[in-house]
């Protein structure tokens, strides 16, 4: 069993025929972080549980004055500057988030205010746990493809601050970050119109109105995440073996609640499709693990997590090379998307964002963190 021979590379001339995809990208993470080994010391847990058991390394944390809006606006400014168009060429701003600031006013209004964006623009927030950013992107893409957009572009942002109650089992998976994308001509990547979604109403992770932290049924959330992956890959493969589908991609990106979860999902996919374990483990090492390098340093940034992984995977791709992106949001909804690199992927201008933010951020001590959380 192997996954490499069936790669399909689309010539750049063909790509020019589709005008919908990611034209530019900007990322932002907050200015502080905690090493999960320091959290383990604080909580009296073996650090190997966090680093090896969950695969986590560092978690991005907001400083005073930083929040879901400042992260979203910082990422958006970077994406807009690289795109080069005027704000008046944007006909849509959609923010996927589960860190709502208000039950009525959309997060997009807070961000638009910060950016000075108003006028003939549709502005809204999308909520479906970690899946909200992907839904915002799909809507923008389909808005462009329908022709309703006219010549206008969309600004799509996935932004979240993920915090659990102190001492919650999810605490080592905390994180924060934002990814902004201008949806217009596919200079960085065409997002294929065909995708496969799968949903099932469950309570695996939810945050009741008025409560600061989520409630989690951890084992159910793991089960649902795996089920979504199994069903969406099978649906996209159709009559073909899933291995053939997987063989087309340079990289497979997943929503990353914590890296070990992604490995579990890939192993589940292998077992569901009858692949032997070394083959599936090899697939994980070569096509999945490298996409999570930034996620390991950011933690779970909810809606932004998948797109941080996609931003990593697109770096340096040649036009025509393809990747897959599996989105999961508790509740639950999942969707498998495919992307084809455009001419600007090779230069990967957006890579500078995380490099700058990671280099500038300050490491908190366990004492700093405890004082900040109050526990």
Give the binding site for ligand HMG (CB under 6 A): 46, 48-49, 52-54, 98, 129-130, 169-170, 173, 205, 216, 218, 221-222, 225, 255, 257-258, 261, 300, 302, 328-330
Taking the complex as a whole, the smallest distance from the CB of residue 279 to ligand HMG amounts, in Å, to 19
CB 104 within 8 A of CB 124: no
Query: In Å, what is the CA distance from 156 to each residue of 76, 85, 253, 257, 360?
Result: 8, 15, 19, 21, 26
Taking the complex as a whole, the smallest distance from the CB of residue 355 to ligand HMG amounts, in Å, to 25
DSSP-assigned letters across all residues of 246-257: HHT-SEEEE--S
Taking the complex as a whole, the smallest distance from the CB of residue 164 to ligand HMG amounts, in Å, to 7
Cβ-based nearer residue to ligand HMG, 1 or 222:
222
For the chain, the residue count is 375
Taking the complex as a whole, the smallest distance from the CB of residue 336 to ligand HMG amounts, in Å, to 15
Alpha helices, H only, 44-150: 47-48, 68-83, 107-115, 132-146
Cβ-based nearer residue to ligand HMG, 328 or 369:
328
Structure-token match 């900040």, residue found = 372
Q: CA neighbours within 13 Å on the CB side: how many for 335?
A: 23
Cβ-based nearer residue to ligand HMG, 117 or 306:
306
Taking the complex as a whole, the smallest distance from the CB of residue 68 to ligand HMG amounts, in Å, to 13
Cβ-based nearer residue to ligand HMG, 10 or 213:
213
Euclidean distance between CA atoms 313 and 228, whole angstroms: 21
Euclidean distance between CA atoms 98 and 25, whole angstroms: 21
Cβ-based nearer residue to ligand HMG, 92 or 261:
261
Beta bridge partners of 199: 333
Bond before 42 cis per omega within 30 degrees: no
Euclidean distance between CA atoms 186 and 172, whole angstroms: 36
Euclidean distance between CA atoms 342 and 345, whole angstroms: 6
Catalytic residue numbers, as ranges:
98, 130, 255
Residue 324 φ/ψ, nearest 5 degrees: -115, 150
């Amino acid at each position: 069993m192997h996954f490499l021979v069936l790669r399909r590379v689309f010539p750049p001339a063909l790509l020019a025929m589709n005008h919908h995809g990611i034209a530019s990208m900007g990322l932002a993470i907050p200015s502080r972080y905690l090493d999960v080994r320091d959290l383990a010391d604080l909580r009296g847990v073996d650090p190997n549980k966090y680093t090896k058991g969950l695969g986590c390394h560092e978690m991005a944390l907001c400083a005073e004055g930083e929040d879901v809006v400042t992260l979203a606006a910082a990422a958006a400014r970077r994406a807009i500057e690289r795109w080069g168009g005027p704000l008046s060429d944007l006909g849509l701003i959609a923010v996927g988030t589960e860190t709502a600031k208000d039950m009525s006013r959309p997060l997009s209004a807070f961000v638009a205010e910060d950016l000075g964006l108003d006028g003939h623009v549709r502005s809204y927030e999308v909520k479906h746990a970690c899946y909200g950013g992907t839904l915002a992107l799909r809507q923008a893409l389909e808005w462009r493809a329908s022709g309703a957009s006219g010549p206008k572009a969309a600004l799509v942002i996935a932004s979240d601050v993920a915090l659990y109650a102190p001492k919650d089992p999810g605490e080592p998976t905390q994180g924060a970050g934002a990814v902004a994308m201008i949806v217009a001509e596919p200079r960085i990547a065409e997002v294929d119109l065909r995708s496969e979604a799968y949903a099932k109403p469950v309570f695996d992770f939810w945050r009741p109105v008025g409560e600061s932290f989520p409630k989690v049924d951890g084992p159910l959330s793991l089960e649902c995440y795996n089920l979504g992956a199994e069903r969406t890959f099978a649906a996209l493969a159709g009559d073909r073996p899933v291995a053939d589908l997987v063989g087309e991609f340079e990289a497979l990106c997943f929503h990353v609640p914590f890296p070990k979860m992604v490995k579990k999902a890939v192993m589940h996919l292998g077992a569901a499709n009858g692949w032997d374990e070394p083959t599936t483990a090899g697939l994980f090492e070569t096509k999945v693990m490298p996409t999570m390098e930034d996620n390991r340093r950011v933690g779970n940034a909810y809606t932004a997590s998948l797109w941080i992984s996609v931003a990593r995977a697109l770096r340096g791709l040649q036009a025509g090379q393809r990747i897959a992106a599996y989105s999961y949001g508790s509740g639950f909804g999942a969707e498998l998307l495919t992307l084809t690199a455009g001419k600007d992927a090779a230069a990967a201008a957006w890579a500078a964002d995380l490099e700058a933010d990671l280099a500038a951020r300050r490491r908190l001590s366990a004492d700093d963190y405890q004082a900040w959380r109050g526990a």
